[in-house]
Structure 1
């Protein structure tokens, strides 16, 4: 039973007070929950019809360019044309330099923000969690799937990674097509769009975009790592290109230049979702186990696995709030009282980084070296690459 004076649409419930203050965004949200990605969905259908020829054309076109496959099937050609089009709101100079804002985040805080922030927020959506658990993607193979997401993120943020034909560009389009494949499979197996909205719909993609821009850096503020206004504008501008390659409606993100603007959008999405369910809790439990193990295994790790798990719990509860953490079965942590001390130390390090440009450049280079090394760790194909393989 829904609350009085609310309007349920595709699994979303919007309070009239919210509509009064954000009418345009609310209307866009309610429309978007029933919309997938027509271009990518058409390509997946063409794969099913034409098989290896269509897949070969797309694989070749992504790396070598659309002009290299003049005889590409029509839907593949349309997707390549869309991907290669660089809208005028994309800053191409930033693409050549990479996501310097993300690259400068020190390890292990980058991993903590990725796990306790980005992925925890993603999995808190019951519709996304239902899809992931239903396809067996994470609960049984969490370390692998986390590594695959990390590989994509690394390819995206490295200098030149989003230029046409570069690894981040190619992998982002592959992720887009994996979304379309999951969407087609869910619909073929009885997914109730009227109840839950379209699987991996436009609102879900927009929320995921926020999981790699707003969410990790909001969490990092808890430990004293804050972005300047200039850095915030640079971050969101860089990720405009990612959003475009993922097939996201530009009305969601063009013009977002600050955490404040992004937070308004994120709060709207989150306020309309149902609470996390058992699927969300299963994913988060698997995530934290894998993340703690990975952090403890890094060279010269200052803590063991249990301590890393407790730190993840502490920052997650502080960032997402006790109510959300309880719903996700994230327990209280004995390390919570230490967060102010951690933040004080990290804020001093961050102030030094911002005061001396050379120190900041060194941090960015360390990030480049770390992410480049990470891209060599997975030598076989990821899930988003495997589904595009042919049978030849």
Structure 2
């Protein structure tokens, strides 16, 4: 079974295509095709789930957990094809790498991972006006901000865990769910998608943007608070996330598989050259996401910072991660020099990072701490704030961790 979508010409969802083609050549032409590219395997599975119902769902769930060979009955055609692709491990994958997990991300203190990596990755996704407009149609930005944060945080943490991407592991299952969720969004959106806006909703270009958000953009954000990684760590990071790209069905989508930040920046530059400026939907979604993260984090054990302080922190991080001009277009407020102590935070984190990775034992302990969850990395003395912050801190309202 295959899923067929009506052909759509790329137009309004991309900008500067002629200039991008002249500058980037074949890579730009390749990415332009992704605008109208869905995911044939995942799209066909969604069609089979709708057609066969419980039978297809049980086959899919069992096959994802235990493998295609474990199924007693012949599964639906599309389900079998998807499972076969997922279980065909690329030749370059080191099995030990999957057992160790994403050791680079695991070395990041959990609180900073959430406040920087998750927040910036979602902001990068929302910066696409087409994605933002589609998400804005699915519910109130304020009401949906917390569930989306939670879903992104859970997926990221399950994905980086040791053994998380092994077949049937939590990261493996969550990553395939992300892939199928995009396919479901495509199927639903096409029923009432504005035909005046050409291009396929929730296509491979959007998923590629999400992938870059959790690699390049996340670590640009972490670098803003002084958590840098070495060239060797970059290579480990992209090797691991290249397997995530395989599970997401992006093997054919990346013109050149990024091996480090420089490769990823070239891909990001190409995407930026072909993406229109963010609109009001993007700004509303990012503002709602920052507010939700501040509410969720304020008052959690070990984080003695009030909501306003956390908003200051995230605004400062996002503006450094994206740059001043893109930050302005995304509606990210400028943090005044009086309340911006990012240079101090960066210096302290760089010192802590040095000793944290000084030896194999200390690096191992850092990964264990990342698995255990958030710790007392942030203190209310880090950022000053006004009367409203102090009043909030005195209230000491407990909150739920967003991820």
TM-score normalised by length of structure 1: 0.88
In the TM superposition, residue 369 of structure 1 has moved relative to its aligned partner by: 1.9
1:19 to 16, 21, 33: 21
Q: Equivalents in 2 of 1:241, 1:8: separation in Å?
A: 28
- 1:264 equivalent to 2:266? Answer yes
Q: How many residues align?
A: 366
In the TM superposition, residue 119 of structure 1 has moved relative to its aligned partner by: 0.9
Q: Equivalents in 1 of 2:144, 2:35: separation in Å?
A: 29
Q: In 2, are the aligned partners of 1:10 and 1:198 still within 8 Å (CA)?
A: no
Q: Equivalents in 1 of 2:159, 2:37: separation in Å?
A: 25
Residue 168 of structure 2 aligns to a residue whose secondary structure is coil
Distance 1:196 1:317, change over 3 A: farther
Q: Equivalents in 2 of 1:93, 1:363: separation in Å?
A: 19
Instruction: Compute the RMSD of aligned alpha carbons.
Output: 2.1
Q: Equivalents in 2 of 1:189, 1:267: separation in Å?
A: 31
2:142 to 121, 139, 142: 139
Q: Equivalents in 2 of 1:116, 1:79: separation in Å?
A: 31
Q: Equivalents in 1 of 2:21, 2:93: separation in Å?
A: 30
2:63 to 37, 61, 64: 61
Q: Equivalents in 1 of 2:356, 2:194: separation in Å?
A: 49
Q: In 1, are the aligned partners of 2:20 and 2:274 still within 8 Å (CA)?
A: no
Q: Equivalents in 2 of 1:254, 1:99: separation in Å?
A: 21
Counting only pairs closer than 5 Å after superposition, residues 287-298 of structure 1 correspond to structure 2 as: 287-298=289-300
Q: Equivalents in 2 of 1:54, 1:179: separation in Å?
A: 18
Partner of 1:3: none
Partner of 2:359: 356
For structure 1, which runs of at least 5 residues remain unmatched after alignment? 1-6, 372-377, 379-392
Partner of 1:279: 281
Counting only pairs closer than 5 Å after superposition, residues 224-373 of structure 1 correspond to structure 2 as: 224-252=226-254, 255-334=257-336, 337-370=340-373
In the TM superposition, residue 247 of structure 1 has moved relative to its aligned partner by: 1.2
TM-score normalised by length of structure 2: 0.86
Counting only pairs closer than 5 Å after superposition, residues 144-223 of structure 1 correspond to structure 2 as: 144-192=147-195, 195-223=197-225
Residue 15 of structure 2 aligns to a residue whose secondary structure is strand
Distance 1:18 1:317, change over 3 A: same
Q: In 2, are the aligned partners of 1:116 and 1:313 still within 8 Å (CA)?
A: no
In the TM superposition, residue 49 of structure 1 has moved relative to its aligned partner by: 1.2
Q: In 2, are the aligned partners of 1:224 and 1:347 still within 8 Å (CA)?
A: yes
Partner of 2:47: 45
